[in-house]
Chains A and B, each alone.
Chain A
Amino acid sequence: MFRLCLFTSIVMLTILPAQSLFSQSLGDFREEINIYNTLYDAPLHLVGGADVSLHELAKDKPIILALVFSRCSGVCNPLVLELKENLRMLNLQQELPYSVLVLSFDPWDKIEDMQYMAERFNLTNEPDWYFGVTDSINQVINSVGFKPIWDEKKKQFDHDALLAGVSTKGKMTKKLLGLRNSKDLRMLVQSINKVFIPSYRLPTNTSIFTCFNYDPETGKIVPGTGLLIIIMPVLITWLTVIGIRMAVRKKTT
């Protein structure tokens, strides 16, 4: 009994500091920032001439918001292109309605720049796709939690590829960072349509005792070391009870 306790303590005491030495990050929680907050209700100027506010646009159909800029030589083009392809493939409009708003976060962009962008992607006449600019872009990106940084040398913004789901009440229900597959995009569309989306913790180096681990590749959940910690107290209790009885019997005989 004593040996078992000693062994467990030694294992725990050696694993934990070692773990913290080798840990690199606190985990990427950027997708969680400002989730369920109401986005800034910015006045939008849309290609085609319409002037509406962000919340008004979202009122009838929830929005997939893509933040880009017209001079982008990096991730903006693949982001919009892949969004277009994936949405076409998923073909969700009937069961889960949405519109897409491609909004420039570059204060120098004009509505003509966005018009040109829409044409380039062949999306000018696509229903439910809107391209636009706003005078209140700083308030919008702050409420999204999106932080582009201007690189003077490259004359480019250093920024994430970001899609944000906005519900009919103007609340941001989900964010996707990076170029993501159609499964993730489906989840985003579901979330803005009030369908419950299970989430899972991103694996980190700093957490070792997890109860269950989700494998995004296979979609399966496998038991983790944390389960042992839940079972351990009962095992130790029974070992103690049996140990006490054996010890007192030895003493009396």
Chain B
Amino acid sequence: MENKFKKITSLWIITVLILFVVAIILGLLMRFNQGGNIKLDPVTFYTDMTIHGLTMIGIWFVAGMAAVNYIMERYVRTSYKANLIAYIMTVVGVLMLWGAGFIGKFHAGWTFLYPLPFKIMWEQWATPLFLYALLVLGVGWTIWTVSLMISLLKKYTLSQVFAWQHFKRDAKPEVETPPFVLISMISLVGVLSCLITAAALDFLLLTEYYSNGGFINDALLMKNLTYFFGHTLANEMLYLGLAVIYELFSEVSGRPKWKTSWYVAYAWNLTLFFVLFAFLHHMYMDFVQPETLQIIGQLASYLASIPSTGVTIFSILVAVYGTKINWNLANLMFFIGTAGWVSGGIGAVIDATISNNFLLHNTLWVPAHFHTYNALGNVLFSLGFFYWFSFQLKDGIIKDKHSMLKILLIVIGGIGFLAAFYFAGADSVARRYANYPEEMASGKFWATFGGTFATIYLLGIILFIGGILKRCFGFVFSRV
């Protein structure tokens, strides 16, 4: 592996981890404000919420991309230039977003649902700055995504890259598609669709902004585009993490490498298709959306999640059941992360069932499930990779002190933090409230409870990432 890829990946890791700690602190401030333990004015709360959401989604997406790019170098040559451009544009885009939020007080939520960006309750310039920030991020990420696709398609044909030659049960194909290549390509296709959708959304928003009332957007179209982009991206970034697990889990556990079997090929191809329709479950309460689309939303939510979850759990269980595994912090993070991903997925499928959605829509059940598959799922996938990667930089041997303590703090802190969201959600406490009114009084108790456990989670994270940061910084500033 060329050193420049190690350097750029180290830079990504350092950036992601620093932003992660800041974003968790914003999350804690929100939770303790909801609990009445501290007092933020509502504008600060919603600014923090917007920046927290966008930063978290952004960093864990790029973390997945950086990991996939690093590992992809094992199979094909990737473009260092595209990786670097994406890094620079991400830093510039994040600075612009934070400027719009922290200085301009833009606070329309991470989904910036239309027409909120135009209900200007902040500095006038913050809305265009926010929209241009999205453009910068979108362009950088599109260049990176397309360049990774080009790298894969130079070596694999279309049917090979999607593992269609593996569909036959007893197939012995000439060219085997590694699961990592299959899942990466499927995720990249989804990511590109999201980014083009985001571009269309941004274009329509900017057009309305500059048209002085001459052009008005259709609210239903904008909501569909927003969730096509937002929901699908949140899913695809998980799949990027899973691609890494399919590659590294067996390797760091001292087990034989995983291969693409017919059911893995089928499951991921189904995901490729159905994940594009799952976002429709965000529209259940939009009665103007025809009923057929609502039903498609429910079916697609099941069909996108169940096959890929099924084969991943199966593969991991087969790998660990009754065999000796070299457990270390990397594969433990992958293992616990998969459990978190599945638990969050169950929470999501419950909410994506129309009859339940009547009760759970826009309650804290929603942040409950997406924080589960992020804070105890995708984040752990990437932390597992970061950990493994940082040891690659040193001597390749994974040894660590206090592993158990770190894991316990993250898991116990994480479970308590998430439980508070679930219990409050089941008690109909609405999401996105800076201060809970009397009708949702239980929300206050759960917020303090969740905030306390989230502090334990943060402690675990700080202990966990200390060594990784040290090794990555050391490598970035070394002369090798």
Question: B193 near A: Cβ within 8 Å?
Answer: yes
Q: Tally chain B residues at the interface, Cβ within 8 Å.
A: 36
Q: Mark B287-306, 1 if CB is under 8 A from A, else 0.
A: 11110000000000000000
Is A244 in contact with B228, judged by CB distance below 8 angstroms?
A: no
Whether A16 lies near B211 (C-beta < 8 A) is: yes
Given A20-B215, A206-B213, A226-B220, verify A236-B196 contact (CB < 8 Å): yes
Q: Is the CB of A221 within 8 A of B290?
A: yes
Interface pair A20/B150, CB less than 8 Å apart = no
CB-CB contacts below 8 Å: A10-64 with B: 12, 16, 19-21, 23, 26-27
The answer to whether A241 and B149 have CB atoms under 8 Å apart is: yes
Min CB gap B125→A, angstroms:
22
Instruction: Check if B221 sits within 8 Å of A211, measured CB to CB.
Output: yes
CB distance from B161 to the nearest CB of A (A): 8
A209 touches B217 (CB 8 A): yes
Chain B 434-454 interface residues, beta-carbon cutoff 8 Å to A: none
Which residue among B157, B189, B221 has the maximum number of chain A CB atoms within 10 Å of its CB?
A: B221
Give chain B's interface secondary structure class.
helix
Residues of A within 8 A of B196 (CB): 232-233, 236-237
Closest chain-B Cβ to A219's Cβ sits at a distance in Å of: 14
**Chain A residues closer than 8 Å to B214, beta-carbon distance:** 19-21, 23, 206
Q: Which residues of B contact A248 (CB under 8 A)?
A: 150, 153-154
Residue of A with least CB distance to B155? A248
Q: Which residues of A contact B213 (CB under 8 A)?
A: 23, 26, 206
The answer to whether A241 and B153 have CB atoms under 8 Å apart is yes
Task: Tell me which of B194, B207, B212 has the highest count of chain A C-beta atoms within 10 A of its own C-beta.
Answer: B207
The total of Cβ contacts below 8 Å across the A-B interface reads 99
A207 CA to B287 CA, complexed, in Å: 20
CA distance A173 to B218 in the complex (A): 23
Q: Tell me whether A93 is interfacial, beta carbon within 8 Å.
A: no
Q: Is A204 an interface residue (CB 8 A)?
A: yes
Name the interface size band of chain A.
Answer: 35 or more
Contact B221 A229 (CB under 8 A): yes
Which residue in A212, A233, A238, A252 is a CB contact (below 8 Å) of B228?
Answer: A233
Task: Please tell me if A242 contacts chain B, counting CB pairs below 8 Å.
Answer: yes
* A-binding residues in B (CB < 8 A): 146, 149-150, 153-154, 157-158, 189, 192-194, 196-197, 200, 203-204, 207, 211-221, 224-225, 228, 276, 287-290
27 A–B contacts from the bound complex (CB under 8 Å): A12-B203, A19-B215, A20-B214, A26-B213, A200-B288, A204-B216, A206-B216, A210-B220, A211-B218, A212-B220, A212-B288, A212-B290, A224-B218, A226-B224, A230-B221, A230-B224, A230-B225, A233-B200, A233-B228, A236-B196, A237-B192, A240-B192, A241-B158, A244-B146, A245-B153, A245-B157, A248-B153
- Top 8 A-B pairs, shortest CB-CB distance: A20-B214, A233-B196, A226-B221, A233-B197, A206-B216, A210-B218, A237-B193, A207-B216
